[in-house]
Structure 1
């Protein structure tokens, strides 16, 4: 069992739910979050937003996932990201769990 954290811009919510279902993850939680990127070191001319703070509507999913479902989830999200034509991608991280009740 692993703890999975998935973050992305909010517009990918439905796609992520589909990827979770397709990989066999039937139970998960999600929250709307504010994504933040400090672009203060970028030249303002190349910064689309014209400010040093870039915030956007994002979403975070988390779930306890059996190891046998994990590789499929990674593969599906990797394939999804490969098809995107935007800079924003879906991010997936896994965490070891020492004990589980």
Structure 2
């Protein structure tokens, strides 16, 4: 069992839900969160918002997933990200679960 954590901008909510369903994830949770990006080290011309502190509407998904389903999620997210023309991508990480009750 692994804990899968997914973050993205809110605009990708529907696609993430579809990815999880197609990967046979039966139960998951999600929450609206505020995403933060500190762009103080970027040149003003590269900074879309032209400020140093950027916040945006984001989503945080998490689910306990059987190990055999994790690659399905990662592969689907990689495929989705490759097709995006936006700077923003879906981010995914896993954490091993040693014990659960």
Q: TM-score range by the shorter chain?
A: over 0.9
Instruction: Describe how 1:1-101 pairs up with structure 2 within 5 A.
Output: 1-101=1-101
Q: TM-score, normalised by structure 2?
A: 0.96
Structure 1 residue runs without a partner (length 5+): none
Q: How many aligned residue pairs are there? A: 101
Structure 2 residue runs without a partner (length 5+): none
**1:46 Cα shift?**
2.7
**1:44 Cα shift?**
2.0
**1:5 Cα shift?**
0.2
**1:45 Cα shift?**
3.1
Q: TM-score, normalised by structure 1?
A: 0.96
CA RMSD after TM alignment: 0.8
Using the alignment, how far apart are the partners of 1:86 and 1:45 within structure 2?
17
